Amino acid sequence: MRLRGRQLGAKFRRQYRIGRYIADFCCLERRLVIELDGGQHLEQVEADRKRTAYMTSRGFLVLRFWNDQVLKETYAVLDQILRELKRSDGE
């Protein structure tokens, strides 16, 4: 994914701890979390809901994408992330 090296204009940390959870990717300066979900998440919908609620309660916006969505629709995923980054930057 193109979250490295400020390619999207913001720094993302990989595997960042937020309380009792570890976010796949986290941009601290914009309070944005990116979660990538594989097939196992179909069986843990409630756990993911709680995880998202916890991160949201800590002031983060959580965006979730399916792994295959990232692979097949990369530009659409990046576009959504960019929109959220711009929104959080006040644009």
List the chain domain ranges: 4-88
Summarize pLDDT for 28-83 with one digit per residue, the tens: 999 999 999 886 655 678 889 999 999 999 999 999 999 999 999 999 999 999 99
Summarize pLDDT for 12-27 with one digit per residue, the tens: 999 999 999 999 999 9
Of the pLDDT bands very low, low, confident and very high (cuts 50, 70, 90), residue 5 is confident
CA distance 73 to 68: 8
- The alpha carbon of 77 is separated from its chain's Cα centroid by a whole number of angstroms, namely 10
Superfamily of domain 4-88: VSR Endonuclease (3.40.960.10)
Question: Is the pTM for the entire model greater than 0.85?
Answer: yes
Residue 17 tokens read as: 């701890």
DSSP per position, 56-68:
HHTT-EEEEEEHH
Q: What is the largest CA-CA distance in the chain?
A: 37
CA distance 25 to 34: 5
Residue 66's Cβ-count burial label (10 Å; 0-12, 13-18, 19+) is middle
